[in-house]
Structure 1
């Protein structure tokens, strides 16, 4: 059986490797090993622990997603006017158009 592609909605299917929100925007990679009572049971490999949660999961961010997050964070910190509205949408458009941040 092929592993299902999960779009981030609802509980991740059993066998999915994704991320779980551990609080304060601290995301940890986990593997979903079972479902029980409306929760996903997951394994955190780094400390060999098992937990369950109803929500707080997201797919593993792509390279594009990581770059977009950095671009949005940079515009927020520096406060460039037009990027304050729709920062993520604009950053994604710039990324897809080939824009890349260079070291100063």
Structure 2
């Protein structure tokens, strides 16, 4: 069995998330959720272990939801529930959420809501190298800067990856006057 908070974190995301205008949720004996006279769900869950004794606020739910998202460092397969990126053949990296991993393959949901990439999809486990953690905006800017530096410097001779990293670090730290990274 589960607590009401655990049930909400498990079930609400697939049902549209936390209901609009609702501050807290409790559970009726039949499994329906309610917020006093203001709200009653049109779906029912299994009865929580703490049924009748507990209420969950929106803030508690959102904090638990964030804490439940698995982190992935890019090593091995991404865990179920992880939001990451998948490398497509023609359109680069696209955001996905891992739904299921079996020996036969990896099922995921496209998160970009584009015409070409939507709904549920799957690939064989041999494509596991086509997944990577979602990069932050800072990581994306750093990658683009490094790519441009590499292109510019290598056009005028050879430069090592170590030299590029040192140059980027010096620019980012403000050690080179009149040049900064936004």
TM-score (structure 1 length as normaliser): 0.75
Aligned partners of 2:146 and 2:168 also within 8 Å: no
2:160 pairs with 80, 85, 92, which one?
Answer: 85
Unaligned runs of 5+ in 1: none
CA RMSD of aligned residues (A): 2.8
- Corresponding position of 2:119: 48
TM-score (structure 2 length as normaliser): 0.46
Indicate the structure (1 or 2) with the bigger Cα radius of gyration: 2
Aligned partners of 2:84 and 2:132 also within 8 Å: yes
Count the aligned residue pairs.
101
The answer to whether structure 1 residue 69 and structure 2 residue 135 are counterparts is no
Aligned partners of 2:172 and 2:181 also within 8 Å: no
Unaligned runs of 5+ in 2: 1-5, 7-67, 175-179
Runs of 4+ in 1 over 4 A off after TM superposition: 80-83
Please state how far the C-alpha of 1:49 moved relative to its aligned partner: 3.7
Aligned partners of 2:107 and 2:120 also within 8 Å: no
- Corresponding position of 1:14: 80
After TM superposition, the structure 1 stretch with the greater mean CA deviation from structure 2, 81-90 or 40-49, is: 81-90
The higher relative CO (CA closer than 8 Å, separation ≥ 6) is in 1
What's the secondary structure of 2:79's corresponding residue?
A: coil
After TM superposition, the structure 1 stretch with the greater mean CA deviation from structure 2, 64-73 or 22-31, is: 22-31
